[in-house]
C-alpha cells in the first residue's frame, strides 16, 4: 500500500513522501523486531519505532522483485536549515525529480534493482 504525503521543506520545496508498507517497517512502536546478520556482519531485519535499527530491511524493486534496502537510504534526519534542505535535495533527487534507492540481495552488495522512494515537486 502506498500513500503520498506532501511535506514543505524549509519553505522551499514541497516533497511528496511515499509512505509504503514494507515488511521491515511494519509493527507497533517498542515491539521487539527480529534481526539477523549477513555474511558481512550487517544487521538485517524489521525496524520498529524505538527499537534497534538494522542496516538492511526487506523491500522490493519498482518491478516487484523482493530484496533489501539500506534503512539509511530511506530514513534520514530532517534538514535543520534552508541550506541543508537545498543540499539534501541536490544529493538525493535525480533529474526526473525522484528519490531512487538501490535494492540489494541479502549480502548488501549485489544490486538487483531500484525502488522509487519519493517524487519531488517544486513548491508554490
pLDDT, tens digit, 9 for 90 and up, residues 60-82: 999 999 999 999 998 888 888 99
How many domains is the chain built from? 1
Torsion angle of the four alpha carbons 112, 118, 121, 124, in this order, in degrees rounded to the nearest 10 = -170
- Model's pTM, two decimal places? 0.69
Distance of alpha carbon 92 from alpha carbon 106, whole angstroms: 23
Helix/strand/coil for 123: coil
Question: Tens digit of pLDDT for each residue in 23-63?
Answer: 434 444 445 556 788 999 999 988 877 778 899 999 999 99
Strands (E), 1-124: 2-9, 13-20, 35-37, 43-45, 56-60, 66-70, 98-104, 111-119, 121-122
Q: What range defines the domain where residue 41 resides?
A: 2-122
Amino acid at each position: 500500500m502506498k500513500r503520498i504525503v506532501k511535506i514543505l521543506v524549509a519553505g522551499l520545496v514541497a516533497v511528496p513522501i511515499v509512505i509504503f508498507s514494507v515488511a521491515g517497517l511494519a509493527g507497533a512502536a517498542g515491539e521487539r523486531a527480529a534481526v539477523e546478520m549477513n555474511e558481512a556482519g550487517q544487521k538485517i531485519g524489521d525496524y520498529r519505532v524505538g527499537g534497534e535499527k538494522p542496516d538492511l530491511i526487506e523491500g522490493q524493486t519498482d518491478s516487484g522483485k523482493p530484496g533489501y534496502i539500506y534503512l539509511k537510504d530511506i530514513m534520514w534526519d530532517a534538514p535543520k536549515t534552508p541550506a541543508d534542505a537545498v543540499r539534501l535535495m541536490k544529493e538525493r533527487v535525480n533529474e526526473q525529480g525522484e528519490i531512487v534507492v538501490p535494492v540489494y540481495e541479502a549480502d548488501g552488495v549485489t544490486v538487483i534493482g531500484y525502488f522509487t522512494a519519493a517524487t519531488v515537486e517544486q513548491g508554490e
